[in-house]
Structure 1
C-alpha cells in the first residue's frame, strides 16, 4: 500500500466529511436539504470505509474486502470505537441507496445529524493520529 495514496484518500475523506458537516448546519426549509445531506452522507460513508480499508492494508491487514469486514477489522485494530454504530451506519447507507421513503429519509437524516457525522469526523482524526504514529 502506497502511503501517498492513503494520504490522498484521507484528504478526500476529510473534505467530504467537512462538506457533510456544512450541509448539516443548513436550516431545513425544504426537502432538498434532506436529499443533499443524505447524498453527501452516502459519498462520505463510501470514502470512510475505503480509507479504513487502505489504512488496514497499509498496516499489513489484507483480508478486508467489504464494508462489513472492514468495519469489523477497524474495530479490532482500534481505529473505530463503536462497531455496532458503524454497522448501523452502513445499513443506513444501504437503505438510502436502494429505495426512497420520505419518513425513512427523515429518520436517517436525524441519525446522520446526531450520530453518524460524529463517527465520521472521529475517524478522520484517528486515521491522522495513527498515520503520524506509524511515520
Structure 2
C-alpha cells in the first residue's frame, strides 16, 4: 500500500480541522466553567493544532524550495519574516509554554496555560489561518 506524500494543502486542511475542534472544546469548556477535564482536552487539542501549524509552515517552505528547519523556533522566525504569522513573540511564547508544560513536572499550571490558549493563542491560530489561506491562494 502506497502512501501519498504530504502536501502543504493537506497539512493546512488538517490544521483547520484541528483548529475547529479546539474552538469547539473551548466553547464547551466555557459552558462547564473550565473544569480540570475540559482544561486537559483543550491543552491536548492546542498541542495538536500547534504541531499541525508548524507542519503546515514546514511544508509551505518546502513547496517554495526552501531548506528544512532545525526546529520549531527557526520555522516560527522564518514564518514571521515571510508574514505567515503576525506575532513572532507570541508564537515563540507558545513554544516555550509547551516546553514548560509537563503534567508531572509542570512549571506552568494547566489553568494558566488554558487561559493563555483561550485569550492569546487562539487568536494567533486564527490569524495564521487567514494569512496561510491568502498565501496558498496566491500560489
TM-score (norm 1): 0.88
What is the distance in 1 between the residues matched to 2:70 and 2:107? 32
Aligned-CA RMSD value: 2.2
Q: List alignment gaps of at least 5 residues for structure 1.
A: none
Work out whether residues 71 and 83 of structure 1, in 8 Å CA contact, stay in contact via their aligned partners in 2.
yes
| Residue 53 of structure 2 corresponds to residue 48 of structure 1 | yes
Partner of 2:67: 62
Higher helix share: 1
Higher relative contact order by CA 8 Å / sep ≥ 6: 1 or 2?
1
Write the distance in 2 (CA, Å) between the matches of 1:3 and 1:59.
Answer: 16
Structure 2 residue 123 is the aligned partner of structure 1 residue 118: yes
Cα gap change, 1:52/1:103 in structure 2, threshold over 3 Å: closer, same or farther?
A: closer
Change (3 A) 1:100 1:43: farther
Q: Secondary structure at the match of 1:25?
A: helix
Measure, in 1, the Cα distance between the counterparts of 2:61 and 2:103.
28
Partner of 1:34: 39
3-state SS of 1:108 partner:
helix
CA shift digits 1:53-86 (9 cap, x unpaired): 1111212221423110000110111111111000
Equivalent residue, structure 1, for 2:133 = 128
Structure 2 partner of 1:24: 26
Partner of 1:9: 11
The number of residues matched between the two structures is 133
